[in-house]
Structure 1
Amino acid sequence: MRTIKKIHTAEYRPIADLKTYSPMPTRDLEMIDPFLFLNHHGPQTYGPNNNGLPFGPHPHRGMETVTFILDGDISHKDSGGHESVIYSGGVQWMTAGSGLLHAEVSSSDFKKFGGDLEILQLWVNLPAKLKMTEPRYEGLQQDEIPTTVFDEGKINASVVSGNFEGTKGAFDILTDITLTTINFKENSKLELKVPKDKNIFFYLIKGEVRVNQQIVQSLHLVEFQNDDEELQIEALADSTLLFGFAKPFNEPVVARGPFVMNTMQEINQAYDDFQAGRLGRWQD
């Protein structure tokens, strides 16, 4: 079985009134190439007439954001002209590429009536050859994301990208990254094989599992060695897992704020371009 290097606890980093847990980056874990960053917002309940999500217009360049709406909704708008509201079970995939501005806020209905909210946002890197690709965005609702089941239906996986156990992901993306969310019933078991040349991303959103003989609790991220293919996962309670894998790019990573490039010179250029309006202009 693949060796566990370390189990990392997500750090609590609230943003205004939004509960937020961040398992990566931390002082102990910078990244798992090409996975760069994860914020876990909620779970929490908003009352009527709330302010909703606080992520107003801001820029990105050189990476992609993958947003999983576990509960509640997100209203997306960007300088490329894309707008959508994605609800519970849906996913957004935005390729920042050469740069754009976007906002991720709650819908007017959510702010008016309130409700439960839980959202994950994962940043994945782009290789140097794709850093300046044309920006794009796609948002899919829950019923547009293919699922596959295991262990007599006790395990259900929503396949977001790549290919997971023979099921093709919902998004056609620029790189070979497999991402899925997996829901386990208590006492269910799953055996997987991931090629040794691929890094695994394993974040337990809720519940408790035993993976390769070690117990992992909710709000923890597992860092693996690349020494074997086999994973054995047993759910000790009803659990939800964000699971992915990809070959590392093995390129320099320079991240400053919302920009992820290969050199500091490229970061400085990104800030210059943003300030000059070359990443797009915001229109309300």
Structure 2
Amino acid sequence: MTARTLAAIHPAHRDDIGDLVTRRPVPGPGLEQVDPFLFLNHHGPQTYAPGNKGLPFGPHPHRGFETVTFILDGSLAHHDTGGHASIIETGGVQWMTAGAGLIHAEISPPAFKRDGGPMEILQLWVNLPGRLKMTAPAYTGLQADAIPVVPLPDDAGSVALVSGRFGDVEGPIRSLTGVMLSTVRLHSGAVVTLPAPKGRSVFLYVVAGTVAIGGRSVPHWHLATLRDDGDSVELTASDDAVLLYGHADPIGEPVVAHGPFVMNTRDEIGQAIRDYQAGLFNGTGPLPAV
């Protein structure tokens, strides 16, 4: 395999939401997207006291893309107007296809608000091509024990595979567009090679620790963009590290975003707003209890 070269290193910019510590590497200055990866919020790490108000993401709509939420620590309750509801704990993932339109809420469950505790969550927005933007909404919530963990050679660490293929293992989520997504944990001093098929966009965000690519350090809370000049990514872990790692075929279509809607044209954004106001995102009815 041939290693890709590092194109740039992008810091995650601090953008707290109330008392919720939030960092965002994309979009940011000089980086609108890593097509088809549109947006990443890194919430935490932080510890909530007992009797807290929990996460602030009450009911809100989406259309035209998918949200993938990694619960690195803590717990997260999801419910939406498609009739889906779940509470996912540490190590689990929520994958929601907004498609034609859903209203959902992502909040802390009652036990977390009562007792408090550590919390760290990543939410990634993955674009859909025009032909799939109005696909039927869907949701899958996976606890940690439903996500295969693939050990890396030489005790270098492991890959928790959510979607796509890694070696002989296939992730439990069947992505509509063939997206591979995982969290990677590396031990200090590990030297690893991760697959990055030619022609695919690579998403590599350092959640914790520091890694080196081509001799350059990429510290925690930074995203690395890579040139499409190889079919692998070679990493050296300077210390114990956690990565959000994935790859996907670029869509190559216009992106017009307006708040929670991501479409191809301004007219489609206008239609999304009108449909939402007309109650057409209500799916099967009110948000179910969690």
TM bucket (normalised to shorter chain) is over 0.9
Letter in 2 for 1:27: P
Give runs of aligned pairs for residues 94-133 of structure 1, distance below 5 A: 94-133=96-135
Instruction: Show the counterpart of 2:208.
Output: 206
Pairing partner for 1:189 from 188, 191, 194: 191
Shift in Å at residue 196 of structure 1? 2.0
Deviations 1:80-110 (A, max 9, x none): 1111000000000000000010000001000
Give runs of aligned pairs for residues 146-165 of structure 1, distance below 5 A: 146-165=148-167
User: Is contact 1:151–1:188 with CA below 8 Å preserved after alignment?
Assistant: no
Structure 1 unaligned blocks of 5 or more:
none
Shift in Å at residue 283 of structure 1? 4.4
Letter in 1 for 2:87: V
Instruction: Show the counterpart of 1:41.
Output: 43
- Mean Cα deviation higher: 9-18 or 185-194: 185-194
Instruction: Show the counterpart of 2:80.
Output: 78
**2-side partners of 1:195 and 1:102: how far apart?**
34
**2-side partners of 1:283 and 1:252: how far apart?**
32
Overall identity of the aligned pairs, in %: 51
Mapped pair 1:65 → 2:62: no
Instruction: Kindly indicate whether structure 1 or structure 2 has the higher relative contact order, using CA contacts under 8 Å at least 6 residues apart.
Output: 2
Shift in Å at residue 227 of structure 1? 1.4
Could you say what secondary structure the match of 2:43 adopts?
strand
Structure 2 unaligned blocks of 5 or more:
none
**2-side partners of 1:271 and 1:228: how far apart?**
42
Shift in Å at residue 245 of structure 1? 0.5
Shift in Å at residue 165 of structure 1? 2.5
User: Is contact 1:57–1:282 with CA below 8 Å preserved after alignment?
Assistant: no
**2-side partners of 1:184 and 1:153: how far apart?**
9
Give runs of aligned pairs for residues 1-284 of structure 1, distance below 5 A: 1-280=3-282, 282-283=286-287
Could you say what secondary structure the match of 2:155 adopts?
coil
Shift in Å at residue 114 of structure 1? 0.1
Letter in 2 for 1:199: S
Letter in 2 for 1:255: A
**2-side partners of 1:70 and 1:231: how far apart?**
23
* Backbone CA RMSD of aligned residues: 1.0
Could you say what secondary structure the match of 2:154 adopts?
coil
Runs of 4+ in 1 over 6 A off after TM superposition: none
TM-score by length of 2: 0.96
Letter in 1 for 2:241: S
